[in-house]
Structure 1
Amino acid sequence: MPRSTVARIDLDALKHNFRLAQAKAGDARAMAVVKADGYGHGIAAVAKALADDAGKFAVACLEEALALRAAGIRQPVAMLQGVHSQRDLAVCRQRGFEPVLHNGVQLEWLAGDSAPSFWLKVNTGMNRLGFRPDDLPAVMAKLEASGCGHHVLGFVTHFACADDPASAMTHDQTAVFERATAPWPDLMRSVGNSAAHFLPDQPLYDWSRPGIMLYGASPMIAATGPELGLKPVMTLEAPLIATRVVGPGESIGYGATWVADTETRMGMVAIGYGDGYPRHAGTGTPAAVRGTRISLLGRVSMDMLAVNLTGAPEAQEGDMVELWGGTVSVDEVAACAGTIGYELLTGVTARVPRAHE
């Protein structure tokens, strides 16, 4: 019989979060970002759950777009990283994929009427991908001359600091984007990552791109998902497989990093960094059992971790421990591990089955 460690996926919570994103997008339409296997939630199940609400999906790369078609998704799919070879363009045209092109080499691969519909990435200051704003007129002229101009759907950019409401960079990037794209008012525009949905008065234009918020984790540095009205989609659970009492002076786990100063009842939970739980989450990281918050003790091992059961005296072997979910936010665990909820959700390994509910 397999162990009962599981990631439970609440598809109703997912739908709630998408509808919240759409409401916050105002006049813009929200495309559902399902890259990285639906942020670790299962790309096929996530996309099918959102198929009645989302008019467009977004992924990073071609293999993810193909996974959506294999799952029966028929909506257009934006490919945010563009294409990696010329032959990918033919696949995009055949399958209804919309690559986001971001450099001159990709433009050279285009060929007149055989080109797919595509977006152009504008580098407004993040300096990862995209054409510089001053180069956009020459880019558009080249596309018109090659017969590909009518395939351009619109322009995309990405914000570097939208998670920080105190930063002026999002305002500055928006202004750069507005000026750069103004000569083509009939083309669509897309700027809004999850964080941008929570910035007052931030224009989202034609299409927003909610990602992490769909899965209930916070895109903002100063708030958790629940504080933003988001519902947790993944509940990561594992069984309590042993309990014991340790006395003063006894330690737990590798490195003996936690030592009891009083008699302490503790338990071992069947999950570890081999399952994607963060090794850097140490003593004090919250968890829950029977709805009661508890905390980790010592170092996380590959297959197990220890918890303090002092505050949950009724907990016993066989009980399921929530590592994150409705009682303990994934954002709280991420903060304790020195990372972000994105990494935790996408890092849950294939050893942990997903149960879509």
Structure 2
Amino acid sequence: MPRPIGATINQTALHNNISIVKQLAPYANIWSIVKANAYGHGLSRVWKSLTKTDGFALVNIEDAIFLREQGWKKPILLLEGFFQQQDITLIDYYHLTTSIHSSWQIQAIAQAHVSKPINIYLKINTGMNRLGFRPEQTQIIWRILRSLPNIGQMTLMTHFADTKNLKKFNKSLKCIKKAANKLNCLCSLANSATILWHPEAHFDWIRPGIILYGASPSGEWKDINNTNLQPVMTLNSEIIGIQNLVYGDGVGYNYHYHALHSQRIGTVSCGYGDGYPRHAPTGTPVCVDGIRTRTLGLISMDMMAIDLEPCPQASIGSKVELWGKEIKIDEVATSAGTISYELMCSLTSRVPVKMIF
């Protein structure tokens, strides 16, 4: 018999979230970000629920080919661009849009044999210092690219490093605006945080990622609590064992928790082998039959201990939500000292996943 753990992906929540994004930026086109296997939700499972988007943006060219072979005809953007000269053949064949962030890529496209001009996103580094040209290089590189017959439509792109610090954000925004001066070009600047908090930077194409999946780009659920965004992924399990402790009893490896009095605890079939964070401390929230309680002690590979004092009615077989509608994934991530992005992407292959509507 299968373990009781399982994840659900809520298609209705996906539909809702992309509608919210459209309301937040009604005049912009949308790149739905589906990198990292759609933030751990499964590209093959969720892409059809996002078909109201204007395009998909991702990292792996294999994922782009998958979408084309599934029948997706609208734009696909390679966020990191291409990595080898021969990749351009696939970009040409599958009608992909690619980012350009390095001089060698310009030379590679100039030398390529393509059936039609390739649409590109010119990536400018406004402070993130990952990929992209320096802002002061923008004008000359734009002119070089514009002169190449292998280049089609061009869009200017950047990624903001800090959207919560208004001073830093405004500095980066001013920087990209100066770089784009007199180019009369399309711009794609806004990630999830920028979409939510900086409408002045929406421009032509926005790039929602984490908000599509119903979590906060800041890591704080309260920051999106009034947006009507809905969690898409729920991780559920059940209580598979119950222990009655007396004062001083330890729980789990190395006894990171000791009972301060007589206490009833439950063992849940979920652990770091399923993608739950091992470093989640005592007190990380869970929900048992609709009642919030907490984890106790270290998380094991396959199991965790939870406090049953708030839910005396709980028994073997009681339903446990690890994250989802009641326990926001941002809460779990914050408790564990990480971010929701990592938890979503960490769900392991042994956890069965089903779509719900």
TM-score higher than 0.5: yes
List alignment gaps of at least 5 residues for structure 1.
none
1:157 maps to which residue?
A: 158
SS at 1:349 equivalent = coil
Q: How many angstroms does 1:260 deviate by? A: 0.2
Amino acid at match of 2:66: A
1:245 maps to which residue?
A: 244
State the distance in 2 between where 1:288 and 1:21 align.
29
> Which structure 2 residues correspond to residues 92-241 of structure 1 after superposition, within 5 A?
92-111=91-110, 114=114, 115-149=117-151, 151-162=152-163, 164=164, 166-185=165-184, 187-224=185-222, 225-241=224-240
Whether the aligned pair in 1 keeps the contact of 2:189 and 2:206 (CA below 8 Å) is yes
Q: How many angstroms does 1:132 deviate by? A: 1.0
Q: How many angstroms does 1:208 deviate by? A: 0.3
State the distance in 1 between where 2:208 and 2:344 align.
16
TM-score relative to the length of structure 2: 0.95
Classify 1:201/1:18 alpha carbon distance in 2 versus 1 (closer, same or farther; 3 Å).
closer
Per-residue Cα deviation, 1:100-140 (whole angstroms, up to 9, x for no partner)? 11000111110367252211101111111011111122212
SS at 1:110 equivalent = helix
Per-residue Cα deviation, 1:305-353 (whole angstroms, up to 9, x for no partner)? 1000111111111222100001110000001000111111111111112
Whether the aligned pair in 1 keeps the contact of 2:220 and 2:330 (CA below 8 Å) is no
1:337 maps to which residue?
A: 336
Q: 9-18 vs 138-147, which deviates more? A: 138-147
State the distance in 2 between where 1:296 and 1:33 align.
33
> Which structure 2 residues correspond to residues 78-97 of structure 1 after superposition, within 5 A?
78-97=77-96
State the distance in 2 between where 1:296 and 1:289 align.
11
Whether the aligned pair in 1 keeps the contact of 2:221 and 2:331 (CA below 8 Å) is no
Whether the aligned pair in 2 keeps the contact of 1:89 and 1:116 (CA below 8 Å) is no
2:3 aligned with 1:32: no
State the distance in 1 between where 2:3 and 2:285 align.
22
Q: 72-81 vs 277-286, which deviates more? A: 72-81
> Which structure 2 residues correspond to residues 301-320 of structure 1 after superposition, within 5 A?
301-320=300-319
1:293 maps to which residue?
A: 292
Q: How many angstroms does 1:201 deviate by? A: 4.2
Amino acid at match of 2:188: S
Aligned length: 352
Q: Give % identity.
A: 38
SS at 1:351 equivalent = coil
Amino acid at match of 1:34: V
TM-score relative to the length of structure 1: 0.95
Q: How many angstroms does 1:175 deviate by? A: 1.2
Runs of 4+ aligned residues of structure 1 deviating over 6 Å after TM superposition are none
State the distance in 2 between where 1:227 and 1:351 align.
35
Whether the aligned pair in 2 keeps the contact of 1:267 and 1:308 (CA below 8 Å) is yes
Whether the aligned pair in 2 keeps the contact of 1:48 and 1:73 (CA below 8 Å) is no
Amino acid at match of 1:4: P
Q: How many angstroms does 1:184 deviate by? A: 1.8
